[in-house]
Amino acid sequence: MEQNKKLVEVQNLKQYFPVAGSKFFEKKVVKAVDDVSFYLNKGETLGLVGESGCGKTTTGRTLLRLYEPTSGRIIYDGETIFDSGDVPLYNEDGTVQTDEKGNVKYGRKTAVNMLPYRRKMQIVFQDPYASLDPRMTVGDIVGEAIDIHHLAASKQDRRDRIIALLERVGLNSEHANRYPHEFSGGQRQRVGIARALAVNPEFIVCDEPISALDVSIQAQVVNMFEELQEKEGLTYLFIAHDLSVVKHISDRIGVMYLGRMVELADSYELTFHSVHPYTRSLISAIPIADPVTSRQSKRIVLEGDVPSPVNPPSGCHFRTRCPFADKLCEQEQPKWTEVGPGHYAACHHLDKVK
Amino acid sequence: MSEYLVNIQNERLSFFTPAGEVKALNDVSLHLKEGEVLGIVGESGSGKSVTAYSLMGLTAYPGRLIGGTLDFNGHRINDMTEKQMRKIRGNEVSIIFQDPMTSLNPVYTIGNQICEVILLHTNKNRAQAKERAKELLTLVGINEPEKRLKQYPHELSGGMRQRVMIAIALACEPKLLIADEPTTALDVTIQAQILELMMDLKEKLGMAIIMITHDLGVVASMCDRIAVMYAGKVVEYGSTDDIFYNPKHEYTRGLLRSIPKLNEKEHKKLVPIEGTPVDMLNPPKGCPFAPRCGSCMKICLREMPAYTDISDVHYSACWLLQKEEFEKGGNA
């Protein structure tokens, strides 16, 4: 398999939502995703963690163009599927492309028809109770995508495909005629996954797929994701707030805070050698299911709450809760810098944190 | 009277729904000493909340207590009238709920809601109650209490609201605080704040806590004792170390195997518990966990196992343990 080949890449992705009730002349926006760049290699899992309201779900959805991005570029398998026209072109090594006169080159404004790409990029939603139409049978829910993309040659073929899909996620053929309410949460999530798999995608955004499930069921679903990936070489963007699950399933992890990416690294590196103060406190705040370790470990308890995304703090968004914050953090947004091989972070005081 | 603050013996509680009787609690026995923290863990529908609510006399309508005894602080909860219960609730035992968004009344100010409890249970006047409310808010780590008293719940964040809930619960310095998934709706960093606050207050006020949760990480860091519930039954009860390092019930073992650990260096595959949770309307005969259990025997499907004592404070209900016990007895 081709390793290290970029399947999906987003550059300077921004997604702003207008705030209802703001005055006409000073339209307020929520910067749900603010200048986020990352890529996913083929067959890898990138985890995205952060607290509620940090923009991780929005990133996932914008990436699929379920929301039209405000600005940025999305590249899928070498093809630009969205370009707002105001993002500089980048070289392979991440530097900005320029012409002979030294002017920055920009991409051409692009917004392709997504239908062919929907076959390759799919999503599994968080809430298995809300994401399945209660009036459709499970067979029709899974079969809808087959119909839209004309994947089945005949009625019989459609039925066979649906049954094969259900079996792939651990359900059986008799389930096809039932309605969602007849299933438990874990089974519904399996239906959601079968629906995503119906078009044989290469890339799946998993938007908190296990948060609504019981502990004993979570492990079943996590294992299923892993097995599907091993068998079919799927690429996942795995979004969750539970860092221990994300660490388990991901190759690399990105941490978001108030719409910005603050740290991105290999999952081992991130859990044991994180450099950003937010990541560190996030990790230490997670209760460890091991009495001896958790008695010994010292928690870094952050003061205060996550600020409102409508009025984020100036400079570094994290500075209001950060123990290292100073004047510089207030004035300037920290740069996204490489601190180790494949390990990026945005903080002014990386040396102090160590 | 007894050495325990809370002593529940063989509690049975059923909900008589139109679809039939749901045995929400099936022979639950628990005890807790003063100043201890008991964690109740289990999946949704396993009866964790019902157990705790019944201790406060808060069983909702189609539910009825049909057997067993509940003792709390010298009171026999089974025999108490609603009027007597009201004196205890909020005074000797109080509760914080899972969702701080819905458990505060949106049309009253924070101050109003805290003072209500104080006025009801003590003979303080309004001015004194307000003073006490301010004290309480300071106690739970809310700054500018004067200003907060005049605010409405929607003006506060989730973590703040949960702090207010705790302040209300602690207004009369209860002997027992029941916390029903107090941090499930909160973010991890806020969860850490709330858990630390609860432990802090426990030290200061010397109350006992019953912590209901499905997060094994939370119980590991907070609790002295743990009760693991499955399908309306306490399948294992023991000290925190017993449960984590010497689990005896297959369900407890399964749970511990199925959670990813953040501090693990290499990637281990999770071992999930197969199958789905029990349908409480048609529970299986015999041990409720039998259909999902890896070491299920014939007898498990027929009969409910009795409790086996592993040590003074550690017991579990599993036929495997009974068998072990029997074999030991046979050899001796």
Task: Find the closest chain B residue to A308 by CA distance.
Answer: B157
Q: Compare CB distances from A291 to B195, B196, B220 and report the shortest one's residue.
A: B220
Q: What whole-number distance in Å separates Cα of residue B21 and Cα of residue A305?
A: 45
Q: What is the pLDDT of residues B22-33, one digit of tens each?
A: 889 988 989 999
Mutate to test the interface with B, among A229, A257, A290 (most CBs of B within 10 A): A290
Determine how β-strand B233-239 pairs with β-strand A45-49.
unpaired
Nearest to B49 by CA among B161, B213, B176: B213
pLDDT higher for B209 or B312?
B209
Nearest to B177 by CA among B166, B188, B186: B166
Residue A251 touches chain B, beta carbons under 8 Å: no
DSSP character string of A286-299: SPPS-HHHHHHSPP
Q: B39 — alpha (psi -120 to 50), left (phi > 0) or beta?
A: beta
Q: What pLDDT score was predicted for residue A1?
A: 43
Q: What pLDDT score was predicted for residue B332?
A: 45
Q: What whole-number distance in Å separates Cα of residue A13 and Cα of residue A36?
A: 5
- Type of residue numbered B206: G
Q: Which residues of chain A have pLDDT under 50?
A: 1-3
Distance from CA of A289 to the nearest CA of B (A): 4
| Residue B65 main-chain phi, psi, to 5 deg | -75, 125
Residue ranges of alpha helices (H) inside chain B are 48-55, 82-88, 110-121, 126-139, 145-149, 158-169, 188-205, 216-222, 240-245, 250-258, 298-302, 319-331
Residues on chain A touching B267 (C-beta within 8 angstroms): 248
A165-224 residues touching B, CB cutoff 8 A: 184, 186-187, 214-220, 222-223
pTM: 0.87
Task: Find the closest chain B residue to A307 by CA distance.
Answer: B157
pLDDT at B262 over 70: yes
When computed from its CA atoms, the radius of gyration of chain B, rounded to whole angstroms, is: 21
Q: What pLDDT score was predicted for residue B143?
A: 85
A340: helix, strand or coil? strand
Q: Are B313 and B225 in contact (CB under 8 A)?
A: yes
Q: What pLDDT score was predicted for residue A9?
A: 94
Q: What whole-number distance in Å separates Cα of residue A244 and Cα of residue A267?
A: 10
Average pLDDT over residues B312-322: 90
Average pLDDT over residues B210-215: 91
Q: Are B3 and B33 in contact (CB under 8 A)?
A: yes
Residues on chain A touching B271 (C-beta within 8 angstroms): 219
A84-143 residues touching B, CB cutoff 8 A: none
Query: How far is the CA of A234 from the CAs of A4, A40, A91, A189, B149, in angstroms?
Result: 14, 11, 27, 18, 53
Q: What whole-number distance in Å separates Cα of residue B88 and Cα of residue B90?
A: 6
Average pLDDT over residues B34-49: 90
ipTM of the complex: 0.82
Q: What whole-number distance in Å separates Cα of residue B27 and Cα of residue B8?
A: 10
Q: What is the pLDDT of residues B106-144, one digit of tens each?
A: 999 999 999 999 998 889 999 999 999 999 999 898 888
Q: What pLDDT score was predicted for residue B111?
A: 93
Q: How many CB pairs under 8 A join A and B?
A: 135
CB within 8 Å: A216 and B258: yes
Q: Compare CB distances from A291 to B187, B244, B276 and report the shortest one's residue.
A: B244
Angle between helices B158-169 and B126-139 (to 10 degrees): 130
**Strand partners of residue B33:** none
Q: Compare CB distances from A294 to B220, B255, B273 and report the shortest one's residue.
A: B220
Instruction: Order the strands of the B307-311 sheet from edge to edge.
Output: B93-96, B176-180, B208-213, B37-41, B225-230, B233-239, B314-317, B307-311
Q: What whole-number distance in Å separates Cα of residue B213 and Cα of residue B228?
A: 10
Q: What whole-number distance in Å separates Cα of residue B40 and Cα of residue B283?
A: 21
Q: What whole-number distance in Å separates Cα of residue B236 and Cα of residue B87?
A: 33
Q: What pLDDT score was predicted for residue A2?
A: 45
Average pLDDT over residues B214-231: 91
CB within 8 Å: B272 and A187: no
